[in-house]
Amino acid sequence: MRRLLPLMLAIGLLMAPPSSWARQYTQTAFAPSPKTTALITRNIGQAEKTIRIAAYSFTSQPIADALIKAHQKGVDVKAVVDKTQANPRTHSIVSRLVHAGILVRVDRKHSIMHNKYIVIDNRTIQTGSFNYTANAEKRNAENVMVIRNNPALAEKYLKNWQKLWDESENYIANDNAPNLR
């Protein structure tokens, strides 16, 4: 029986889904630095099925480009943004996402929807103080943390995201808004 135990464990491991083989690990980056945006866009680019984003402020062209590219390759991308992002004077990039076919909702329920996180494929979370803006990358003291292969934690973030989504209203794109390139 002792000799069979390692074989039985190996067979059990091979029968388990590949996602359960992976160990959780984290990545971090600190701004001001282009490494922050690069870490976020790299993780967005690795998405295979879903991306859920909650964003207080969103003016970053590279992050918008990464989300649009993911959407174009068939990833289901949805976003909830703070009500300030529906104002064309904020230079928000959200209209560009909507024009690309990404579903975006505006949180008008809370005084401030100050969340800044992305959940990728129900197992990877990007969070931290980092707003999705050029200023966050170039001028501010900000942080980004990516937690990979943690479906239990991702589920908690997704539950919060779904609550925000359900409480929000559809974003109406303004064709005269900036950043529609």
Active site includes 121? yes
The catalytic position among 83, 109, 114, 159 is 114
The SS3 call for residue 157 is helix
The catalytic position among 71, 82, 107, 121 is 121
Active site includes 99? no
Sheet of 76-82, strands arranged across: 25-31, 142-148, 124-127, 116-120, 50-55, 76-82, 103-107, 169-170
- How far CA 11 is from CA of 1, 3, 22, 131, 177, in Å, comes to 15, 13, 17, 45, 57
The catalytic position among 73, 116, 138, 156 is 116
The SS3 call for residue 181 is coil
Active site includes 65? no
- How far CA 132 is from CA of 18, 54, 126, 142, 171, in Å, comes to 32, 10, 12, 11, 18
As annotated, the active-site residues are: 114, 116, 121
